[in-house]
Structure 1
Amino acid sequence: MSNEPLAYRMRPQTIDEIAGQKHVIGKDTAMYKMIQNGHVPSMLLYGDPGVGKTSLAFAIAGTTKLPFVALNATKAGKKDVEDVVADARITGKVILFLDEIHRFNKLQQDTLLPHVENGSIILIGATTENPFHDVNPAIRSRCGEIKQLTRLTSEDIDVLLQRALLDPVKGLGKMKIAITDEQRKKMADAANGDARKALTLLESTVFASSEEDGITIVEDALVNSLVDRVGVFGDKKGSHYYNLLSALQKSVRGSDTDAALYYLAHLLENGDLVAVSRRLLVMSYEDIGLANPSVGPQVLAAIQSAERLGLPEARIPLANAVVLMCLSEKSNSAYAALDAAMASIHQGKTGAIPSHLKDTHYAGAKDLGHEGYIYPHNHKVGTFGGWVNQTYLPDNLIGTKYYEPIEAGEEKRLAAIYKRLEKFKTEK
């Protein structure tokens, strides 16, 4: 048997062997039909680790029988690209698979671009990062297809595991292996959408199992032990990590406690307590806001407790904070109002500060006309405190409204005060 890892050996040879990704390479897609007809457009493949970007590139090459060169942008240099270009002049079109394409610098890209443009090189770039954020626009513009690959389902991965167990040439088919459907499906679930992890887990399990009478017997205890060691899906600071942060916030905003806790669990397993804490604090003001002003200080207290405790105990106060925010009344009115004011400024909607609001803490202020300010604290209005009807906005912006109160939670009371004060302004 080859010394190459099982995940490498089981890489599909043609596009018909691709598991999942029906939206990209299913038999009804334009991509499938183009490749079957021998036409391969330059493309970018975007997706999380282990979803099959490299496998798809190899399968495309295997289907079309075109010359194929694989490079990794973290290691390849300008000379490597020039060598591929030189080969293309001799052999004709070459498929260049460039993994982690977002790592290519401008000089390397400039070397590559004209040859992609004239068609001598067919570029298949793969990236775990959002190509619209991390891939040079010049590369994107020359790729006719940008395809996002999705994480494989447990069913897709189970198909791959069964294929590996049965294949006598590339897989483990020459071995007699006693493994149950339940054990295999547990591995498929544990891989969390990552085919490479699943096949590596299967290979580790088989070779860690004991043999009796020529039969490798897989034990439940071994499977459970190895499954527990499978790493959490997603890399710190990668696109998937930021997608987790986004999903956490959107789940809290949507008041889905279970989903929010699920994403929090993923993030904490990645171990970056600082980024998670920062996002939770932002959420307490962005999404809960004036509807429940006490939540911000409570979340801050939870974050400070988590930082003092460290992981794994930090998960306890953070879980409290997430559940509290999920079930709290919500309002984004304050920061939405500020954003509206900032947008107005950028649009040039500004004016002169009224003279009575300008600084008067210096001799000569009156000579400049900086007078007329009425001190609100000297004019009591019931239990509200002090208020006086005077102009605060620039003259050309009088009547402009940025703040739109939301009648939720504590903000309902604040909204009533706001509306009452607005009414006072119209009274003579």
Structure 2
Amino acid sequence: MKKPLAYRMRPKTIDQVVGQEHLVGKNRIIRRMVDAKMLSSMILYGPPGTGKTSIASAISGSTKSAFRHLNAATDSKKDLQIVVEEAKFSGQVILLLDEIHRLDKPKQDFLLPHLESGLVILIGATTENPYISISPAIRSRCQIFEVKPLSSTDMQKALNRALEDKTDGLGELPIVIDESALLHLSRSSMGDLRGALNALELAALSTPPNENGNIKITLAVAEECLQRKALVHDKDGDAHYDVISAFQKSIRGSDVDASLHYLGRLVEAGELTVICRRLMVIAYEDINFGNPNAVQRTVSAVQAAQMLGLPEARIPLAHAVIDLALSPKSNSSIEAIDRALQDIRDGKSGDVPKHLKDFHYKGAEALGRGVSYKFPHAYEDHWVAQQYLPDSIKQAVYYKPAVTGKYEQALSSQLKKRK
């Protein structure tokens, strides 16, 4: 039985990895490990289909190391013992362990000494936050790297490679793919390359040749095989981003009907992840202190939508959109942090005032650290006037309250009192 296209197209060397430049690009950490042949155990975490297994496979191929693939949830301690015995025989084994967050204590205890000795190079893969879901014993012996969703450009590069590859890909087939179909596969998979490749293979194998003997993959075919509709059938593919942009701008502009219209387009296209992420951005960027309760309600609505999935997710999503569109607006938070960041990037930072520096070590007092610090809780209203910013920017003002919304008016009043 022929293996799926996504499996066949896994990179065989680090140079073939698509995306993840922050890890495998020139002079980046995993690339350095491979070039120096100085591997260490690691945990890769990120959404499904973003390349965790591919990176592990590429590391093995580039270093010519033995490679084994197990699942922490379904494979037994006996399977781990077999891998360790092989490592003793060959010198070292790279072990990709899927769902590492489900590794139980007996398996952990067995693996730990072999990670310490370097006999087994563990590459744990998980979609969960490793700082929460993975035991400290394993975490302390691994470097932790986030694997990010692939960009549309990276996705197109990988899809084109699969279409051209005559050995492992679809290059032997007479495929003619419309640009709009390729754009849809690359953009509507939301960074999940495995899903896009599976849809491409299904389209290629299920579409009969036309009168010219070509397998024509149109946008309609791509929509059906991916089970996501394109937002509109435009030539340049910009509609995907145009609708998302219009969605945020309509909420920011307090037009509730336009906001619901663009939400409907995104729901119809199956863009649940995009909607949830964008609503969270809108809540904190555009509503902010104008209606902080609406911000928290949006977080709850997004969580409910993710648990329900489409089509039911449309209900809490509509609730959040109406709430945000009709809320007082404020962008004071994003403007405040951007002002602070601009000063830092312009070199305006300076030394931390001595009375704020850490003094929990021997000799700190002699250096004048923390000596004149005033503990706010010891004063009336738990506040006392003292300098917190460095001398060079002690007059800097970053937060400038908006005048909309009762909550921010209260913040403004408190700020004036403290000033």
Shift of 1:408: 4.2
Mark the structure with the bigger radius of gyration. 1
User: For 1:170-227, what per-residue CA distance to the aligned partner results, in whole angstroms no more than 9, with x for missing partners?
Assistant: 1111111111233212211111111101111111111221213432122332223334
**Aligned residue number for residue 238 of structure 1:** none
Amino acid at match of 1:91: S
Deviates more, 1:62-71 or 1:210-219: 210-219
Tell me whether 1:29 sits opposite 2:28 in the alignment. Answer: yes
C-alpha separation in 2, matches of 1:109 and 1:298: 40
C-alpha separation in 2, matches of 1:221 and 1:407: 47
CA contact (8 A) 2:288 2:330 kept: no
**Aligned residue number for residue 340 of structure 1:** none
Structure 1 residues 257 and 28, CA, compared in 2 at 3 Å: closer, same or farther? farther
C-alpha separation in 2, matches of 1:120 and 1:298: 50
User: For 1:272-327, what per-residue CA distance to the aligned partner results, in whole angstroms no more than 9, with x for missing partners?
Assistant: xxx99xx99x99xx954xx669969999xx99xx99x9654554333111223462
1:4-23 map, 5 Å: 4-23=3-22
C-alpha separation in 1, matches of 2:295 and 2:213: 63
Shift of 1:11: 0.7
3-state SS of paired residue (1:211): coil
C-alpha separation in 2, matches of 1:182 and 1:416: 50
Amino acid at match of 1:167: D
C-alpha separation in 2, matches of 1:416 and 1:148: 38
C-alpha separation in 2, matches of 1:134 and 1:416: 40
Tell me whether 1:221 sits opposite 2:257 in the alignment. Answer: no
CA contact (8 A) 2:178 2:219 kept: no
Amino acid at match of 1:207: L
**Aligned residue number for residue 194 of structure 1:** 192
C-alpha separation in 2, matches of 1:298 and 1:126: 32
Q: Calculate the aligned-residue CA RMSD, in Å.
A: 4.6
Amino acid at match of 1:321: D
**Aligned residue number for residue 64 of structure 1:** 63
**Aligned residue number for residue 136 of structure 2:** 137
Q: Which runs of 5+ in 1 are unaligned?
A: 232-250, 332-395, 423-428
Please, which of 319, 324, 327 is the counterpart of residue 317 of structure 1? 319
Please, which of 175, 184, 188 is the counterpart of residue 173 of structure 2? 175
3-state SS of paired residue (1:210): coil
Structure 1 residues 217 and 297, CA, compared in 2 at 3 Å: closer, same or farther? closer
CA contact (8 A) 2:253 2:325 kept: no
Q: Which runs of 5+ in 2 are unaligned?
A: 231-247, 334-377, 385-400
**Aligned residue number for residue 350 of structure 1:** none
C-alpha separation in 2, matches of 1:210 and 1:315: 40
TM-score, with structure 2 as normaliser:
0.63
Shift of 1:84: 1.4
3-state SS of paired residue (1:8): helix
TM-score, with structure 1 as normaliser:
0.62
Identity, % of aligned pairs? Answer: 37
CA contact (8 A) 2:8 2:169 kept: yes
C-alpha separation in 2, matches of 1:314 and 1:141: 40
C-alpha separation in 2, matches of 1:152 and 1:87: 34
Structure 1 residues 411 and 125, CA, compared in 2 at 3 Å: closer, same or farther? closer
**Aligned residue number for residue 205 of structure 1:** 203
Structure 1 residues 214 and 78, CA, compared in 2 at 3 Å: closer, same or farther? same
Structure 1 residues 88 and 397, CA, compared in 2 at 3 Å: closer, same or farther? same
